[in-house]
Amino acid sequence: MITVSKVDSAQSVEIVAVGPGPTNRLFVFTGIAEINFAAGDNDDLHTDHAFLDVSSFHGDKLFDPNSAATKLAAIAWPASMHATDDADQVTWAVDTVAPFVAANGRLTLDVAVAVQGSNGNLARFSYEVFAATQSVSLVEFTVQPLAVQLGQQAAAFTVGVQINQEAVGNGGFVFLSTDHPGASLPNSVRVRPGTVTAFANGTLDPQRFLLGDTVVTITGNTAVNEKTSSIKVHK
């Protein structure tokens, strides 16, 4: 498995869709992904899968993993290839392209690649990903309490989210994250269909905090926007 760690010329377009139907955003993501898939010192045909975390290279946009809410289409093709005259036969290939949204909301591209030819490589592939989604806008994001006196026991906090319209289908997802390893919380909270608010519970682990004051930032994301809130932790 190849994990793409670099993308050049990453570009994004966000189009507001006004309906009818629940789709309210169309995103187009393009770029050139670096994989440096080497053929080695032989002429065997080498195959592998390259996984591109599209979200991480395009503004950390997260999507509802429900396929009824997020519709995807994608394409990829070889962009940069290399061969040497050591090879008797060469191949560079993108054989299949499969976009999906992971459980944590990250838009991901699974690209089956192949390369052949002694000391050659398939260095990069180009991609286009289209995502039509019914993502909701996060209008309010709160954390309670705002300040915590931390002792020997773990302390609880609650995250509240409010979206701009009643959730449809299987609900609306708001993805949650924190900048501090001592704070734990679920990676998403689901707003039930027909409602606009939802809550999630998190905990603060006293073993992971230093003495004194620490500000913990909690972030809520949808494909459309993000908001943050913070807790002042005193130990």
Could you list the residues that contact other proteins (CB under 8 A)? 17, 19-21, 23, 26, 71-78, 85, 87-99, 112, 114, 116, 126, 128, 130, 132
At closest approach, how far in Å is the CB of 23 from other proteins?
Answer: 5
Q: Which is nearer to other proteins, 51 or 160 (CB)?
A: 51
Q: Which is nearer to other proteins, 7 or 174 (CB)?
A: 7
Cα angle 89, 94, 99 (rounded to 5 degrees) comes to 165
Q: What type of residue is 179?
A: D
Phi/psi region, residue 162 (left: phi>0; alpha: psi -120 to 50; beta: rest), is beta
At closest approach, how far in Å is the CB of 108 from other proteins?
Answer: 13
Contact yes or no for 235/214 (Cβ under 8 A): yes
At closest approach, how far in Å is the CB of 33 from other proteins?
Answer: 14
Those residues with Cβ within 8 angstroms of residue 154's Cβ, 6 or more apart along the chain or in another chain: 203, 204, 205, 206
Q: Which is nearer to other proteins, 16 or 210 (CB)?
A: 16
At closest approach, how far in Å is the CB of 5 from other proteins?
Answer: 23
Contact yes or no for 122/79 (Cβ under 8 A): no
Phi and psi angles of residue 17, each rounded to the nearest 5 degrees, phi first: -100, 130
Q: Which is nearer to other proteins, 57 or 127 (CB)?
A: 127
